[in-house]
Chain A
Amino acid sequence: MRPVVLALLTLIAVAPESRAQERILPLEQRTCEVPSYILFGDSKLNRVRKSIEEHKKLTILVLGSGSSALPGPDGAAKSYPGRLDEVLKKRFPDVAVSVITLAKSRQTAADMVQSLKKALAESKPDLVVWQTGTVDAMAGVDPESFRASLDQGIDDVAKAGADLILMNMQYSPRTETMIALGSYADVMRVVSRDRDVPLFDRREIMRYWNDNGNFDLNLATKDIAAAYQVHDCLGRALASLLIEAGDLDDVKTGQTQ
């Protein structure tokens, strides 16, 4: 027994060590910082790289539900798809970047799959960012059906020749005892692993911001400015993942430095 116990203790002792060595990505603003182990995975975005290098163009379709949009006249520019658009345009000034957002409140994954084919044909994206999970969890969709919808959507995007990033739910401390997100987040993680699709783990990122004190997501505020800031950071983090998974670090920016 003793060697086993010792081995366990060693594992526990070593584990936080390896975690501490992980990089924290500043993402240009300190409030947006995210540890690389939360943001990055092993899956790659080959189409994105090819399109930028060969065609100097990057068309992104953001498919999502209510949490991909913000209200108000500035909502479109201030929500994370708008922020992503701006960050990418700055980073790749000679690339024709366009971000098309298709965010409708109360859409389950199955609902979005229905409109996906048409949207793919119309916008011919190089990359689809698919934000989903929250509405399915609220509606109590059977996790197996949720999984089937994800698989169907992934197939459709692959057939259209585009890359895909899956984005999971927001971390929302106030509704934690009202919406059981756990099994849906697990399904998304499993599907992203099985299908080799990058997962933008919005839930863990926001949990990190909240626990680390970057944002107080518990606040019962009506203030839209706080929401703008969170979306700004989400847009930057998403751009970071896109650049990492697309191996775009070495791509020339077109700027003379």
Chain B
Amino acid sequence: MAPAIPTDRDLRLDLFRGLALWLIYLDHIPSNIVAWITIRNYGFSDATEIFIFISGFTAAYVYGRAMRDYGFVVSSARILKRAWQIYVAHIFLFVIYMGQIAYVARGFQNPLYAEEMNILEFLQQPDIILIQALLLKFKPVNMDVLPLYIVLMASFPPVLWLLLRNKTLALAASVLLYILTWEFSWNLPAYPGGGWIFNPFAWQLLFVFGAWCALGGAERLHGLIHSRITLAIASIYLFFAFCITLTWHIPGLASYVPRWLAEHIYPIDKTNLDVLRFAHFLALATVTLYFIPRDWAPLKSPWLRPAILCGQHSLEIFCLGVFLAFAAYFVKVEISPGIPMQVTVSVLGILIMIAVAWLLSWYKGATGRRSVAQPAISVRTDLAGGGE
């Protein structure tokens, strides 16, 4: 039997994805004082977990319905089309990045940084670097999330097929892949060496878990999420993570972490989605869901509207955020690196993201009205993070 797919939109997904996009933007500006407010400074997980989970959730929500209504082939084609769009967006950002790096590097010959400047040698071998970038093997700093998203989407059709038939089995397979990845150190190769910064074999767990939740798993967990015991455990874990992270920022506190504990938890492996990070995300989600119900009144208030708008156009706003982070870095390097400039570019960047999201919504509304007669197949693709 096909699982029930709820029809009305859960604004919490848009809200938190929008917030995650803002946080990712702030974190991507190097040495940015405003990044102190982002969640990675107060616990193990960061905005990437939120983004990947919600992306899995919405992908299953949108394409699950399509797969039920139009079959495997048509819905798979639509998922692959989406993956292709993300790929094109990634390559577009890569070109912007290269242009910017080439500009910043021009004439920078500080003898103090002769070693670091060797990194720019890749500008002299565009043949290799362009091909490696097209193969998603060469990924500049902070351009790792979209390639992960591309791989997750491109491999999503069979996963979704299995989820719709037996979601428990699909989730179990995902967990098994995660465990095997840890056991055998699987990863996709990167250029010039090593593996992907976000290992898709490990991070798929969050994506598939999100999809599982969208297809009825969340209802199954309802009792668990809303029990006070779960809430207590989650809160204690969040507090523990907060204390540990505090010792990273305030030297002198580090000696209060017992050696056996430190040996157990470090290093907290972001590449392979450390269990501590995954658990931290679950705890964060549990506490959030407990206090913010689906019909939470502020969700409709104009104050949260900007974040929700950004969350509804996540692919466009994500790419814009990556671009704006480059631009902010550029402004910092070329004009002024000080704190006033850090605050200015942070606020300005988020305002631009909001403005563009608003513009996209307006455009969608304006063009949507004219094509009311369109068949239902295009319905709700906005939930997947942007128009098709």
Binding site for B on A (CB under 8 A): 1, 4, 8, 11, 15, 18-19, 22, 37-38, 42, 65-67, 70-71, 105-106, 134-135, 138-144, 170, 172-180, 183, 186-187, 190, 193-194, 207, 211, 217-222, 224, 226-227, 230-231
The binding surface of chain A is classed by DSSP as helix
A183 in contact with B270 (CB, 8 Å): yes
B263 in contact with A134 (CB, 8 Å): no
Residue B166 interfacial (CB < 8 Å): no
3 nearest A-B residue pairs (beta carbon): A66-B115, A176-B30, A227-B112
Residue B367 interfacial (CB < 8 Å): no
- Docked pose: A227 CA to B100 CA in angstroms: 26
Residues on A with C-beta less than 8 A from B239 are 4, 8
Residues on A with C-beta less than 8 A from B194 are 140-143
Name which of B104, B120, B191, B193 has the most chain A CB atoms within 10 A of its CB. B193
Which of A11, A105, A106, A230 has a CB less than 8 Å from the CB of B112?
Answer: A230
A174 in contact with B104 (CB, 8 Å): yes
Which of B101, B246, B270 has a CB less than 8 Å from the CB of A178?
Answer: B101
- Docked pose: A220 CA to B82 CA in angstroms: 42
Name which of A42, A66, A141 has the most chain B CB atoms within 10 A of its CB. A66
B113 in contact with A170 (CB, 8 Å): yes
Given contacts A71-B114, A170-B113, A227-B110, contact A4 B235 (CB under 8 A): yes
Residue B117 interfacial (CB < 8 Å): yes
A142 in contact with B119 (CB, 8 Å): no
A144 nearest in chain B by CB position: B185
Residue B111 interfacial (CB < 8 Å): yes
Which of B115, B119, B246, B252 has a CB less than 8 Å from the CB of A22?
Answer: B252
CB distance from A227 to the nearest CB of B (A): 4
Residues on B with C-beta less than 8 A from A227 are 110-112
B242 in contact with A175 (CB, 8 Å): no
- Docked pose: A170 CA to B112 CA in angstroms: 9
Which of B104, B112, B195, B263 has a CB less than 8 Å from the CB of A194?
Answer: B263
Given contacts A140-B194, A177-B142, contact A170 B116 (CB under 8 A): yes
Which of B112, B118, B263, B332 has a CB less than 8 Å from the CB of A217?
Answer: B112
CB distance from B237 to the nearest CB of A (A): 12
Chain B residues numbered 138-193 whose CB sits less than 8 Å from any CB in chain A: 140-142, 185, 190-193
Name which of B116, B118, B190, B251 has the most chain A CB atoms within 10 A of its CB. B116
A71 nearest in chain B by CB position: B111
Known: A70-B112, A134-B116, A219-B110. 19 other contacts (CB 8 A): A1-B235, A4-B235, A37-B251, A67-B114, A67-B116, A138-B118, A139-B193, A142-B193, A143-B271, A172-B113, A174-B104, A177-B142, A194-B266, A211-B31, A220-B107, A222-B109, A222-B111, A227-B112, A230-B112
- Docked pose: A174 CA to B107 CA in angstroms: 12
